[in-house]
Each structure stands twice: as C-alpha cells, then as structure tokens.
Amino acid sequence: MKKAILIICLSLLVGCKSKTVSRDTEDLKITKIEPSEINSNQQKKAYDLGRRVLETCNTSKFKPFNETEVTQSVMENTTEERLTKTCQRFRQYYGSFIDLKLDGVYKTKRETIYRYHASYTKKVANKELRVFVNEENLISAIKSMDWEENFETKLKE
C-alpha cells in the first residue's frame, strides 16, 4: 500500500512539473528607425490622432475614432467619459496642451512606435505620448506617461 501511494505521489509530482515557456526574442527586440525610413503617411496619422486626443483636453470636444483609424480595442477604450476624467487631471497639473514634438520612431516585430514629447503651458509638465501603429496601419495603442530620457528602459517596465 505504501509503495502504491509513493508511486502515485511521484507520478503526480512529475505530471505537475511546470512547463518552460519559450519566447520569440524577435517580438521583444526594439530598433530605432532612421528618419529616411519613416513612412510619412503613417507618421502624419500617428501625429494627427495623438494630437486629437490631447487637444480634447483644451476644447472638451472629442471626435470619436472610426475603424479605418484605430483598432476595435482603442475605439472601445477611448471614450468621452474616460477622456474627460483624464483631461481634468491633466489640465489641473499640466495646464493646456500646446503641441507634440516627435522624439523618435521605433520598430518592433509587429508595431511601429511613435514617441512624442508633449508640451503644456505649465513648466512642470514633462510628458510623453506614444502612439503604436500595427501592421494594418491602425493605431493599436495610445499611451501617455512621464517623460523618460531612455526609451528602451521605460518600455520594458
């Protein structure tokens, strides 16, 4: 009986062994794109949509995205209610939005990341806006965060 219990316990232990997960390191690799390689139409689209989101804080009017501009998840997550809540906080701390300045364009296996330095009327504001464009040329994410000089370090967090 003891041998049977020991064999069952050992077989359970072997059966429950954790699996190793292999990751494609190409998915995580980030390369900076040279200015000559940047798709100007895609860059204009990223700038326009990023500016449109931040300009909402100044005007309190948001023109909703459509399926030719952004992915479904961005469309669902960028609601007027969410923007209003974020804009109230941004206006209080940073003042009015002025403009975006392109800092760099980065490429992963599946996305192009446009990194903009966002300027506001208050000098304490040191923010950045990242616009992610997928392979279908749709905006797959828009992310605002505190400015960090080192792009790669901030991305991996």
Is residue 22 a part of any domain in this protein? no
Contacts of residue 27, Cβ cutoff 8 Å, sequence gap at least 6:
108, 109, 110
Q: Using CA atoms, how far apart are residues 102 and 54, in angstroms rounded to an integer?
A: 15
Does residue 16 lie in a domain region?
Answer: no
Return the H-helix or E-strand segment holding 124.
Answer: none
Q: Is residue 20 part of a domain?
A: no
CB atoms within 10 A of CB 90: 21
Question: Could you tell me if residue 23 is inside a domain?
Answer: no
**Coil, strand or helix: which one is 119?**
strand
Integer Cα distance of 126 and 14 in angstroms: 53
Structural domain includes residue 135: yes
Of 97, 101, 45, 94, the residue nearest 69 (C-alpha)? 45
Residues 6+ apart with CB under 8 A from 115: 102, 103, 104, 105, 106, 128, 129, 130, 151
CATH number of the domain at 118, please. 3.10.450
- pLDDT tens series, the chain, 157 aa: 655 554 554 454 445 545 555 555 555 688 898 888 888 999 999 999 999 999 988 988 888 889 999 999 999 988 888 888 888 999 999 999 999 999 999 999 899 999 999 999 998 889 999 999 999 999 999 999 999 888 764 554 4
Q: How far is CA 107 from CA 30, 133, 145, in A?
A: 6, 10, 19
Task: Find the domain containing 50 and state its range.
Answer: 37-156
Number of domains in the chain: 1
Does 94 fall in a domain?
Answer: yes
Considering the domain boundaries, does residue 133 fall inside one?
yes
Supply the pLDDT for residue 153.
43
pLDDT given for residue 137 in this prediction: 93
Q: Is residue 115 in some structural domain?
A: yes
- Whether pTM > 0.75 for this model: the answer is yes
**Distance, CA of 126 to CA of 73 (rounded, Å):** 27
Q: Which two tokens stand for residue 121?
A: 């009327």
